[in-house]
Structure 1
Amino acid sequence: MKTLEDESRLTIEACHGSTAAFEALVLYYEPRIRRMLYSLTHDIQLTQDLCQETFLAAFRALPRMKGEELQFAPWIYRIALNQLRSEWRRRRRITWVPFTSPTGQVDDFSEPPPEEALVSDEHFEEQVMERDLVARVLAQLPPASAACLLLDAEGFSYREIAEIMQDSLSAVRSRLARSRQAFQQVYKRLDRGGQS
């Protein structure tokens, strides 16, 4: 996963109370956290609320952290997933959907897709159908499996996913292998016209 230049320095400064350093981290990570949360909830308002709560919780926790040891990316994603889990327990149901757009790019729901993707792409209908199929497949997987697949697609390493999911490295490897296999099986079944 591509990281912010000088992230270590900004993290240390933010832990020592620098608002400017924290704002720089927020500017970099907020769109990524928002995209992940939206891909898991498909609810713009809930995504905005969870994203705000994520960075508020991070801001409150930073003074207690050791900046030299803190890896900001896995830490902020873990906070976001914990916020989502809390909301999920409260609501008892959140719809999980993929984060790729019909153009195959990562969704950023705050910006409309480029016009050429809507008008000139001759495969637009197929891409929309593919996106719908992926959404239906992910909705049938356990939430932890869908989250692992989404984090893997975001480019996180197994070690980072383990840290974010608060699980062991071997458990993440195993879950990802099972999740990929389950995804393929459900995908094939639904792609052949199965319903369920």
Structure 2
Amino acid sequence: MSAPFHVPENALLRAKLSRLRDRRTDNATFRRTLAEIGAILTTEALRDLPETLCGIATPVAALDAPVLAAPEPCLVAVLRAGLGLLDGARLIMPDAPVGHLGLVRDEHTLTASEYVVRLPRDLGLRGALVLDPMLATGGSAIQAVARVKQAGATSVRFACVVAAPEGVEAFRAAHPDVPVTSAALDQRLNERGYIVPGLGDAGDRCFGTE
């Protein structure tokens, strides 16, 4: 059975996504909102991490308090646009190690090529949350998760802002063990491989490039 594809029931997340989608949203607002969404998606994607109990003392009494049973997962951003989500994810987990995967998509073949890989050494111990705003054809996400697994991660999760059904299907076929958390499941891909209605090119809108 495939790992779940999850769209959180979260009104605040939906409102922020609408702001991202709006073509009138300027670059600074887009970048800030993408970080805010990154914080929400990180919380949702990691909400079922294994827990254990640890004895602590509050100012009032002692108790067995829930803590994580393993070190926090590594945060892996798919460049460039994944950096926008990473800003928010690091607000939630400021001590988590960070990795970067540089993938660029050929606009004609829609395939992704790798140009930089910087991953923490303890992926096998921690696992990873891979961050990329778009799950369109699925090519970049599939390649990114495969690279993280190759580096030793046995527990991997993927978070995105918008996903197309075609990309979800391809991703689940390639990585049935990896749960996906997305702010929305959109309608389809267009002839250029862009998500419809989508939000345009997240990297360009985040960093003010074309």
Q: TM-score, normalised by structure 1?
A: 0.29
Higher helix share: 1
Q: TM-score, normalised by structure 2?
A: 0.28
